[in-house]
Amino acid sequence: MRTRRVWGWGYEGDGPDPAALSFAEASLGALLGPLPPRRKPPAPDAIVLAPPRCPPPRGLEGGLSDAPAARALHALGRSYRDLARATRGRFDNPPDYVFQPTSEDDVVRALEAADAARLAVIPFGGGTSVSGGVEPTALGDLRGTLTIDLRRLSRLVEVDATSGAARIEAGASGPEIEAALKAHGLSLRFFPQSFELSTLGGWIATRAGGHFATGPTHIDDLVESVRLVTPRGTLATRRLPASGAGPQPERLVLGSEGTLGIVTEAWVRVFRRPARRSAVTVAFADFAKGTLALRGILQAGLLPTNARLIDGPEAIMSGAGAGDTSLLLLAQESADLPTAGTLEACADIARQHGGQLVGEIRTTDAGSGGRDATGETYRSAFFRAPYLRDELVLRGVFVETYETAVTWDRLAALDDAVRRAVNELDLGPHLLACRITHAYRDGCAPYYTVICRAPDADGGLALWADLKAAITSAIVDAGGTSTHHHAVGRDVVPFYERERPPLFESALRAAKRAVDPNGILNPGVLFPRGP
Ligand SMILES: Cc1cc2nc3c(=O)[nH]c(=O)nc-3n(C[C@H](O)[C@H](O)[C@H](O)COP(=O)(O)OP(=O)(O)OC[C@H]3O[C@@H](n4cnc5c(N)ncnc54)[C@H](O)[C@@H]3O)c2cc1C
């Protein structure tokens, strides 16, 4: 395994594209004023932590660690709040021990040991949570914490080429999954921005969303069956293409965020690798017109694989445009079917709403090509953005994202409410960018980025809390969801509680008591006051 960077994104030795960093420094310097010099992040061997609060759980020797660097790596996720602390060497709540299972039996043993020792268990995939999902707080009367890091459970176990499904262990990361499936000419076609580090188990636990804008883009759509190890046994669901037999068991696991058990593996639906592709970008003078075009496309029954609407500030940030127009990035890809027709139909609708094509529709029937330059620039900036964000945080920049989904009828009011909430906080010079990441027949998923100077006093931690509260409250009050794909974790619980029906909460608590009667699994996540 390569060495993960303790204080930020990726692996030791990796970093952002130097040209993208210079561009970001220059443009943000112009907007926010000169940036302070880069702070030095902590060296892994210089990290000092308080010793574990409890003796090691019994029977886990071998895969167990209490080394400071291992505990620090598992102490935080990757929200701005996490980065602001980690880059200053502040690991407030490290787990007492980290265990790396290499089999499902190891996971069973670890849960038995933790239950017996009254330790909180924090499941850990890639640690890319942006909602406090892996930070071990809210211990209650438990005696300490055991983080279970699943990254050594990463095999492609079996492929069913007839049905188009694959059985994959939960700790496999995006690149590991794609490399293993590629050998079979297959792909999961699931590409969240955190693809490089996040894992199948983490995606299932958080109901993650991939970067395709329509169609089967949520991990929910791709899971055929799942195995969940709980303190009271293993829940294994049946492989089925569909079923009307009562409530769907996978649905209890999807989004359970490690509170009901540990996902050890899943059968997922896979696709032949696409060979045909068309792409085009459409410019709109006005973002609202772009949303009308997007709605028109979806409501006409078209499902382009990509249909991402980005506003002017977002286009500048990603280098995809000059910021004077909003851009709708359209693409369609398929292993077998022609793709140009879908995009021609989308382009017609976009034109009816005042859109202007930037260049022609580009199409290929084999391998690479069929890519549109604006779309490609955006795509590459998108996947490298986490590295860039780390460097900006080290240079005193506050940068955080906020996402939701809302029905079309409430979109304009929600957007107004978010802009008002940001304006009411005195951020000084700042940038507020918006993109629509996912589109549905009945609504869409707006995604906001806020960039401003991080106050020196606390590195922006109070500002982070104020913005989170102001924006998420505005979203929920305006009829949106507290999260479309970033999960609830510990940070979003107060807002999630405002949308969760009370009777559903009681039913969920009863389910938790059945599988985790001692409340050891991920305390503080989904349920604020324990089981
Ligand atoms: C830069 C950046 C970009 C992102 N982009 C996206 C995006 O495009 N789409 C998206 O959906 N999310 C995105 N996220 C959020 C995050 O990547 C997702 O929530 C992802 O699904 C987490 O996967 P992970 O393996 O890193 O899980 P972790 O962060 O390790 O864990 C997330 C939660 O799931 C639990 N968990 C993890 N593994 C298991 C398991 N095997 N069994 C049970 N519980 C488990 C953890 O306890 C925790 O509560 C992004 C985050 C960052 C920092």
Mean pLDDT, range 395-415, rounded to an integer: 98
Distance 182 CA to ligand 1 centre (A): 23
pLDDT of residue 425: 95
* Cα 278 from Cα 365, distance rounded (Å): 9
**Alpha carbon nearest to ligand 1 atom 48, residue:** 133
Measured from the Cα of 200, ligand 1's closest atom is: 25
Measured from the Cα of 133, ligand 1's closest atom is: 49
The model's pLDDT over 353-365, given as tens digits with 9 standing for 90+, comes to: 999 999 999 998 7
Residue 216, SS3? coil
Kindly state the percentage of the chain with pLDDT values over 70.
98
Flag whether pLDDT at 327 surpasses 50.
yes
CA dihedral 67→70→72→77, nearest 10 degrees, is: -160
Flag whether pLDDT at 237 surpasses 90.
yes
pLDDT of residue 242: 97
Measured from the Cα of 209, ligand 1's closest atom is: 11
Confidence of residue 528 (pLDDT cuts 50, 70, 90): confident
Distance 76 CA to ligand 1 centre (A): 12
pLDDT of residue 376: 78
pLDDT of residue 375: 76
Mean pLDDT, range 167-192, rounded to an integer: 97
Q: Tokens for 437? A: 């990441």
* Cα 521 from Cα 114, distance rounded (Å): 10
Confidence of residue 369 (pLDDT cuts 50, 70, 90): low
Mean pLDDT, range 2-15, rounded to an integer: 93
Confidence of residue 366 (pLDDT cuts 50, 70, 90): low
Query: What are the extents of the domains in the chain?
Result: 47-149, 156-272, 396-499
Distance 341 CA to ligand 1 centre (A): 36
Mean pLDDT, range 139-143, rounded to an integer: 92
Flag whether pLDDT at 368 surpasses 60.
no
Residue 269's closest CA among 177, 199, 347? 177
The model's pLDDT over 202-217, given as tens digits with 9 standing for 90+, comes to: 999 999 999 999 999 9
Are the C-beta atoms of residues 247 and 210 closer than 8 Å to each other? no
Ligand 1 probe mutation, 122, 193, 228, most atoms within 8 A of CB: 193
Mean pLDDT, range 463-480, rounded to an integer: 98
Distance 75 CA to ligand 1 centre (A): 14
Helix axes 373-394, 18-32, angle to 10 degrees: 70
pLDDT of residue 198: 98
Helix (H) or strand (E) holding 249: helix 249-253
Measured from the Cα of 485, ligand 1's closest atom is: 11
pLDDT of residue 379: 79
Helix (H) or strand (E) holding 149: strand 144-149
Flag whether pLDDT at 517 surpasses 90.
yes
Distance 194 CA to ligand 1 centre (A): 8
For every residue of 259-314, DSSP letters joined together read: SS-EEEEEEEE-EEPP-EEEEEEEEESSHHHHHHHHHHHHHTT---SEEEEE-HHH
Confidence of residue 423 (pLDDT cuts 50, 70, 90): very high
Measured from the Cα of 173, ligand 1's closest atom is: 25
Q: Which of 58-62, 342-346, 393-397 has the lowest mean pLDDT?
A: 58-62
Mean pLDDT, range 374-399, rounded to an integer: 89
Distance 37 CA to ligand 1 centre (A): 31
User: Residue type for 49, please?
Assistant: L
The pTM score is: 0.97
Flag whether pLDDT at 182 surpasses 50.
yes
Measured from the Cα of 79, ligand 1's closest atom is: 53
Flag whether pLDDT at 164 surpasses 50.
yes
Distance 191 CA to ligand 1 centre (A): 12
Within a 10 A sphere around the Cβ of 143, how many other Cβ atoms? Answer: 14
Kindly state the percentage of the chain with pLDDT values over 90.
91
Flag whether pLDDT at 530 surpasses 70.
no
pLDDT of residue 473: 98
Mean pLDDT, range 465-493, rounded to an integer: 98
Measured from the Cα of 78, ligand 1's closest atom is: 53
pLDDT of residue 371: 72
97-99 and 144-149: which strand pairing? parallel
Q: Which residues line ligand 1 (CB under 6 A)?
A: 77-78, 122-130, 133-134, 150, 170, 192-194, 198-199, 201-203, 205-206, 208-209, 257-258, 262-263, 386, 485-487, 489, 522, 525
CATH number for 47-149 (one of 3.40.50.620, 3.30.980.20, 3.10.450.50, 3.30.43.10): it is 3.30.43.10
Between CA 201 and CA 206, with CA 204 as vertex, the angle to 5 degrees is 105
Flag whether pLDDT at 477 surpasses 50.
yes
Residue 310 β-bridge partners: 327, 435
Mean pLDDT, range 63-90, rounded to an integer: 97
Flag whether pLDDT at 53 surpasses 70.
yes
CATH class as words, domain 396-499: alpha beta
For 510, counting Cβ atoms within 10 Å of its Cβ (0-12 exposed, 13-18 middle, 19+ buried), the class is exposed
Mean pLDDT, range 476-505, rounded to an integer: 97
Mean pLDDT, the chain, as a whole number? 95
Mean pLDDT, range 398-425, rounded to an integer: 98
Distance 470 CA to ligand 1 centre (A): 24
Please name the fold of domain 156-272. 3.30.465
pLDDT of residue 2: 85
The model's pLDDT over 86-108, given as tens digits with 9 standing for 90+, comes to: 999 999 999 999 999 999 999 99
Confidence of residue 531 (pLDDT cuts 50, 70, 90): very low
